[in-house]
Every structure is written in C-alpha cells, then in structure tokens.
Amino acid sequence: MGSSGTDRELDRITSNVRSFFKRYEKFKAIEEQYKELQSEFNENMDSYFDRLAANRKTAKFEDTNGDVLSVTRVAPTKIEWIPEKLRARVTKPIWKQLVKKHYEVINMPGLIKYLKSCGVDPIIFKSFIEVTETVDEKAIERLGDIGKLTPHNIAGCYMVKSSKPYYKLKRKRPDEQGSEDEE
C-alpha cells in the first residue's frame, strides 16, 4: 500500500515537472519573440517621432476594430549639477542652503595621532579629510519658489542628461467617454 501511494505521488510530480517544463520552454520562446518585436517597435517609433512627429510626444493610430491606439514617447532626463559653478553664482548664505557636504576621513590612524599632538593646524587637519559636495535639489526648488534663487543664478551650473526614450501604450475604445488632448 505504501509503495503504490509513493509511486502515484512520484508519477504526479513527474507529470507536473514535464508539464511545467513544456510551458516554460513555450514561455521562453514567446518572450524571445516579444523582445525582438519590442526592439523593432522601438526602432520604428524612434524613427517616427524623430522624423515625422518631431514636435509631438503622443501619436494616435486607428486599430482595425476602430479603437484608438495611443503611443506616448517618454524621454526621461536627469539634471547633473556642477557645484563649483553654482557656488560662484550664488551668495554664501544661499550656497550653504543648497549644498550637502559629506566628509570622509581617509587616514584615521594618522588623524588620531595628529589630534593627540598639541597645536592642531587646520590645514594639516583638512589633509586627512575628503569633502564631497552635492547639490540639494529640494533646496533649489524651495529657494526658487520663494524668489531667492532665479534661473539667472543657476544658468550654466548644470547639465541635462537624457536617457533612452521608452514608449507608453494605451488603447481607447470608441464607446469610452471623454477625450484625450494630444500632447
């Protein structure tokens, strides 16, 4: 009785493994086809938006069933601040609000030995410390909102870096209410 139940359990598990493995192989094949189709789609949309719809972010196409297929190009950007330039363009009190400083001791045994000795020289002390300055973007926004920082103050103090665009897809059926404005 025990052996027969164990055999049935093993057969059930074996069947499950075989079934899962077949579906897994189908999934991987479909996933590969999807990646190829997505790559072709992205190339076509890049070309379309660059050449035919350069001033638009969204394009609409009609599906064979009358639905409207909306494709929106999203091009993420990142602002990279140049602290040295920003420091030269703003007052010291504003700078202190904009900067986040990170101090890193790069030679702790040397620092301890030096501090134990008498007559600490700040120039020597600073040689043991590495300071990294980053711009606090929330402070930039806050000071801009209250008028203490203007576009003139920050002009030339940053670089805008664009990431590779991606596309959002949306289907709108004819019977849906409301309309979307084209961007």
pLDDT tens per residue across span 13-52:
999 999 999 999 999 999 999 999 999 999 999 999 998 8
Whether the CB-CB separation of 173 and 69 falls below 8 Å is answered with no
CA-CA distance, 138 to 122, in Å (whole number)?
Answer: 32
CA distances from 24 to 10, 13, 16, 31, 34 (A): 21, 16, 12, 10, 15
Give dist(CA 155, CA 153) in Å, integer.
6
pTM of the predicted protein model: 0.54
Q: What is the mean pLDDT of residues 115-131?
A: 80
Residue 12, SS3?
Answer: helix
Neighbouring C-beta atoms of residue 90, cutoff 10 Å: 20
Residue 139, SS3 per DSSP: helix
Tokens 């091009």 correspond to: 75
